[in-house]
Chains A and B, each alone.
Chain A
Amino acid sequence: MNVSNAAVRVRGLVKDHGRGQGRVRAVDEVDLEVPQGQMLAVMGPSGCGKSTLLHLLGGLERPTDGEVWVAGRRIDMLSERALARMRRRSVGFVFQAFHLVEELSAAENVELPALLAGRSRRQARRRASLLLERVGLAARARHLPSQLSGGQRQRVAVARALVNDPLVVLADEPTGNLDTAATLDVLKIFEELRSPGQSFVIVTHDERVAATADRLVSMRDGMFVDDTWLAGSHPRGLGGLIGLEG
């Protein structure tokens, strides 16, 4: 496998939580490679290590053992500062709990990563406006998160994850708090906003969400137990395909 072609690559990844007798292995000797442009869904029961895997891929946690490569660069050895720089350029996060900054408006939330990445306020504002328009929230750009529905908040979070045009988007149960219609909205947005070569890793419980991916891996007890390459993605007629329409 050509390393430079992989958006994300892990080898022998191990993550233990706790110490001594209370130690729990959350991720156990995982190998994974996500090519550029691939949408990967990770499924598994609660506590199987899905979210921990996602945190390791984004450099939010450090592995106990193994290697993590993002955009052709090994990140598990990087300093916190270098990890932060890497996240600015290469990674976007979407969380189940949205994790929007409550005192900032939708537009201000979306432009925040651009400002952190050193873009001018004007550039950040323009990019945020564009993305909010594409997620259908242009009219709500000035609303605070508390004034938005769950689905709208998650759409803001998706726009925020994409504002720096990252190589990989890591989504942790992005539809876990959403109703069916909002889930469909978010999935559509993922498809529509995905730029060429951009990879998605989506942790989900929802099989219907997983069905939209190019590839599905199943986890149990910190290990991959199944790795299925699905028959292409379904940008159109997605809802019908996965049973979310009608």
Chain B
Amino acid sequence: MGSLALVARLVLADVRRHKVQAAMLLLAVTVATATMALGLSLRDVSDGLYEQTRAATAGPDVVVLSGDKGPAVTSALTSLADAPEVVAHHGPYRIVYADLTTRDSTSSSVVSSSVVSSPVVVHGFAETPGAVNRPLVTSGYWVRPGGTVLERGFAAALGVRVGDDVTIAGRPYPVVGIAVTAATSIYPWAAQIGPGGGPSDSSGLAWMTRSDARTLASSHELPVTLAMDLKLRDPAATEAFRHAHRVPAVRINFHSWQFKATQDMVILRDSQPILVVGSWLLSFLAVTGVAALAVARAAEQTRRAGLLKAVGAGPGLIGTVLLAEYLALALAGDALGLAIARLALPAIASPTASRIGEAAGPTVATVITATILALVVAVLSTLRPTLRAMRTATVSALSAGAYQPRHRPWLTALSALLPTPLLLGLRLTARRPDRAVLQACSTATTVIAIVALLTRYVQPERGYGPDGSLALPNLRDEHDRRLMLAVAVLLIALAVVNTITLTWTTAMEAQANMAIARTLGATPGQISAGLSIAQLLPGLPGAVLGVPLGLGLLSIFAAPNWTVPPYSWLYGAALATLLATAALTALPARLAARRPVAQALSAETA
């Protein structure tokens, strides 16, 4: 207990003394774990929402659909309803393929409002829903003659509310209600099958009374398919049911509830890699930034270890004290990240309004994975200086001074040929190759994020309107773009913090040498430029490598026919990253270069 109290006191004192470093570790771990927890939770949340919608709407276990016509189809469907595995059924009912148009109610001006059009499938339902597939009305009323009910995800995309009018196949219908169902996939995949059993386009879902649906189909000779919803004795046995009831004479499609749950994830297909890969990159940047700060504190940590050894602390206690601060902050960041993920999950895991229910929080497995990630970030950032501090002999540790760079004659000779800012910059870079690697990695990660963002934005857009028109935006693409933008902004923000940190730690560590250079005639401008160049030099290969690395990473997850942005854009972005790095380093470099020379030299002597 005494040891624990001692460790806690030492850790608290250390956190108070290094508030910026503590805040940075907390922020970096929070962002990384939140992103990872979101990425890993998508499937569970999506499945959970489907389950809740299914329970609330008496969702069928199997939906049977046929694009064929005639008595053979009706007979086949009736025989399926009479099958011994079936405990209840709904239908057969008509599915009519039509176009729906509405005024764009999202437009602020009545004068400039435009017509929005979308493919729609109309389900002909009884005015009193049966035991299976009872859509849940979330606003307004259920179908009545002359009125239509729109599926909630579809209504949200159209911007239509109860009381608005829509036109289906040229005929106006008032929207009497908004509802959700688990019998179809989420918007825009409500069609399930296309006319005649062929492939289906993106479509919304509307319900009408049976007679209205029949009238709609017959008056305009619209394509129709038949569907029936089945409730099985064993809901899990959908696959066995399908195999047992193949009908050779007619084409019948069996859509199980498991298939629909899986289909719900299609809209999140690219979201998961964006978040998970994004969390890896964020973790990498977190390690980079925190390691830069830990390296800058290495001498202090070594002295601290020496002091603890001198007063009798064992290796275990010393290791605990040195690592506890980072581990405690990492765990705090992990908890914060998981809380943020919990709050953000509903919006991210359910981009359409087609499902109802509460999004469950991250699972135990996700919590464990995120926690491992947080601990790995903390340990990787600090293990090396901690081990060095523990291994240094007590007397040496107590007198540990500033880092002693290696002599690199070839580099010194090469830099002697260069103008003063480059000479200083190259020599500063060579002082800490590990820091140069961190800067290169940080820059490469930034460029990877920008390449991903540019690639996302050059992909051809296909909306959910008729023939892929953008009158109705592609929800999946929009969702992915927003996610990618958010992840890229977080990556760039962390990279910005890293660049400033690396410049400042370089400046602080080299302040004695820079002061000496000042006494020898280097101007503050040359020192400042040298410090900036010290960040730019490793940033250059990082930026150049970031482009192919980004494209390589995207090729793993992108669709087979993805469009690569023009290389002029990609390398323009790499150049812009370097220019931004130069701008970001200017302020800390300038501040460091302005430090009075006498003060810096006195500090060194002391």
Contacts and interface: CB of A to CB of B under 8 A. Distances in A.
B413 A115 contact: no
Interface stretch (A83-91, A131-139, A214-222): A83-91
Given A97-B605, A115-B423, A80 B431 contact: no
A60 B597 contact: yes
B596 interface: yes
A101 B513 contact: yes
Contacts of A174: none
B320 interface: no
Contacts of B555: none
Given A81-B525, A84-B524, A103-B408, A95 B517 contact: no
Interface stretch (B296-304, B399-407, B557-565): B399-407
Nearest to B431: A103
Contact of B413 (A60, A85, A121): A121
Given A103-B431, A116-B521, A144-B407, A60 B412 contact: no
Contact of A85 (B409, B517, B521, B598): B521
Contacts of B431: 103
Interface in A95-120: 95-97, 99-105, 108, 111-113, 115-117
A200 interface: no
Interface residues of B, number: 36
A224 to B, nearest CB: 21
Nearest to A170: B519
A112 B512 CA distance: 15
Given A81-B525, A103-B408, A144-B407, A113 B416 contact: no
Q: Range of interface residues on chain A?
A: 35 or more
Most buried by A among B430, B516, B522: B516
B601 A88 contact: no
A55 B408 CA distance: 32
Given A87-B519, A101-B516, A55 B407 contact: no
A28 to B, nearest CB: 18
A99 B601 contact: yes
A104 to B, nearest CB: 6
Given A96-B605, A115-B416, A115-B420, A84 B407 contact: no
Contacts of A115: 416, 420, 423
B596 to A, nearest CB: 6
A132 to B, nearest CB: 16
Contacts of A95: 601, 605
Nearest to A90: B521
B251 interface: no
Nearest to B413: A121
Nearest to B593: A80
Contacts of B597: 55, 60-61
A188 interface: no
Contact of B521 (A88, A101, A105, A142): A88
B430 to A, nearest CB: 8
Given A104-B412, A111-B416, A121-B417, A88 B520 contact: yes
A125 B601 CA distance: 26
Nearest to A103: B405
A83 to B, nearest CB: 8
Interface in A54-98: 55, 58, 60-61, 80-81, 84-85, 87-89, 93, 95-97
Interface string A203-214: 000000000000
B239 interface: no
Contact of A160 (B520, B594, B601, B605): B520
Most buried by B among A61, A108, A117: A108
Contacts of B214: none
B409 A116 contact: no
Contacts, number: 95
A93 B407 contact: no
Contacts of A85: 521, 523
B524 A80 contact: yes
Given A87-B519, A103-B406, A97 B604 contact: yes
B412 A113 contact: no
B523 A80 contact: yes
A146 interface: yes
Contacts of A100: 516
B526 to A, nearest CB: 8
B399 to A, nearest CB: 14
A158 interface: no
Contact of B517 (A103, A111, A112): A112
A103 B520 contact: no
A93 B521 contact: no
A60 B407 contact: no
B412 A117 contact: no
Contacts of B594: 80
Contact of A61 (B405, B423, B596): B596
A124 interface: yes
B605 to A, nearest CB: 4
B518 interface: yes
Contacts of B518: 60, 84, 87
Contact of A105 (B407, B523, B601): B407
A102 B598 contact: no
A121 B412 CA distance: 11
A201 to B, nearest CB: 14
A97 B516 CA distance: 11
Contact of A121 (B416, B521, B601, B604): B416
A108 B431 CA distance: 15
Contact of B598 (A60, A88, A125, A144): A60
Nearest to B417: A121
B604 A99 contact: yes
Q: 5 closest Cβ contacts across the A-B interface?
A: A88-B521, A84-B523, A103-B405, A113-B520, A121-B416
21 contacts: A60-B597, A61-B596, A84-B521, A85-B521, A87-B521, A88-B520, A95-B601, A99-B519, A101-B513, A103-B406, A103-B407, A108-B416, A111-B416, A112-B520, A116-B420, A116-B517, A116-B526, A121-B413, A124-B416, A144-B407, A164-B521
Given A103-B404, A108-B416, A116-B526, 14 more contacts: A80-B594, A87-B518, A88-B520, A93-B520, A102-B404, A103-B408, A104-B407, A104-B412, A105-B412, A108-B409, A112-B520, A115-B416, A146-B404, A164-B521
Interface of B: 404-409, 412-413, 416-417, 420, 423, 427, 430-431, 512-513, 515-526, 594, 596-598, 601, 604-605
